[in-house]
Amino acid sequence: MSGALSGSRPNIVLIVLDDLGYGDLSRYGSPVGTPRMDAVGRAGMTFRQACSGAPICTPSRAALMTGRYAQRVGLPQVLWPEEDRGLPEFEHTVAEAMRAAGYATGIFGKWHLGDPRLTGNPWDARPRFLPSAHGFDHFCGIPYSNDQGWGDRQRLPLYRGDAVAVDDVNTEQGQERLAGEYTDAAIAFIRRSVARQRPFFAYVPHSSVHQPFHVPEETGGADGRYPDVIREADRQVGRLLDELRALELVESTLVIITSDNGPWFEGSTGGLRGRKTDPFEGGLRVPFMVRWPGRVPVGENRYPISFVDLLPTLIDLAGAPAPPSDRPIDGISIAPALAGEPMPRGRTLYYFGDLEEGPTGEVDPDWMWNVSAARQDRWKLLWPATVWPDLGREMLFDLDTDPAESTDVAAAHPLIRDSLAQRARIFNDEILRNRAAAIERTRRHRGGG
């Protein structure tokens, strides 16, 4: 760990908005005021080239939890209610690492890594998909997206711990109150942790600003307007930040605010190409702000980071045990970057996504198993040639001068293009060789059932 960050293990609050675009916070150029979230960036570090784990939600969360690309985990696509797959017990999550280091762990919001199915026939239940089976001591939230209710009534259950607390929150009032429910539960968890003198890891994956849009009266806006949903998310983040201040925890708490992928039908990419589902920057690049007063310096950082970096970074900061050595970890610790120190150059990041641009309801499963882009430093290669030959040639972009990915410079830099294409091909082959085993782990249960 960087010397500037060593010596004290922080509490950790990780806030992940759902479908919040790169340009949806005023800190990143939005006309919609988001003063509470912006304050985290102003008092800490604002990353300008952070990418989520995937351009869609389940795989992005799988990468965040495990430090591994979702294809290695076996979850490259969105999971649906009652699906008999989920986060494998084989995976070592950031919550398990934090708990092993003595942290209290809690998740307050959208899980979306497997439906426990505790609302129907008890014989169909899958408790191995509960957050408690993956390192979390406390859970208040929903098992999948707020637009994924199932059955004739499109039921959306709210869990508290390992039990269903509310059978269905898929109503106007229920959806309006979700963000507040998450915040209330997170605040109660933090208070309990402080009373027990335990460091805490609070993971707060809000279901907003994902459609459908609902906001309570306190926000002062009408239901169904995207700016109001953003303002409500900002208000709820502010409540959590206020609690940290009231408990005198600001100096001892690392706060991260980000999003699981780019915007869907509404929302701003900040001028970047593509949207949710796309491997272009608009589908992947997200706000990412970090505050830890006195430890993380105030400033901006343009080093390319990814959600796979969160697990190794938080393990580093918490002094937690390393993951088992029997699996590759794709992320690296960005603790040096958080300390304002340089990071190594030459690292390659791989992206997966749908190369048919624009918001779509369906994504071809095979597309999400194959590398669609690779990035090294300033260079990003769109790599459709061997997987989607009908979509054209490989394209190389210089993201330093062309963040909108508008000009193909492959002809001017053939060696860079060929080098990245070869890396993509080798990594793609590795992923596909292990595809069947990865899928099988998402269904397997050590104890059967």
Catalytic residue among 51, 92, 112, 138: 112
Please identify which residue in the block is written with the tokens 């963000």: 179
Beta-carbon contacts of 349 under 8 Å, excluding residues fewer than 6 positions away, are 51, 304, 306, 374, 375, 376
Instruction: Write out the two tokens for 247.
Output: 């408990």
Closest CA to 374 of 347, 392, 354: 347
End-to-end CA distance of the chain: 42
Q: Are 236 and 229 in contact (CB under 8 A)?
A: no
Q: Which two tokens stand for residue 128?
A: 């191995």
Residue 214 annotated as catalytic: no
Instruction: Let me know if 57 is a catalytic residue.
Output: yes
Q: What are the residue ranges of helices labelled H in 247-293? A: 281-284
**For 151, phi and psi rounded to 5 degrees?**
85, 180
What does DSSP assign to residue 387? Answer: T
Q: Which of 57, 92, 134, 206 is catalytic?
A: 57
Q: For 259, phi and psi rounded to 5 degrees?
A: -140, 155
What is the layout of strands, in order, in the sheet containing 138-142? 163-166, 158-160, 138-142, 104-110, 200-205, 11-17, 253-259, 288-291, 45-47, 299-301
List the Cα angle 261/405/409 in 5-degree steps. Answer: 145
For the annotated catalytic residues, the residue numbers are 57, 112
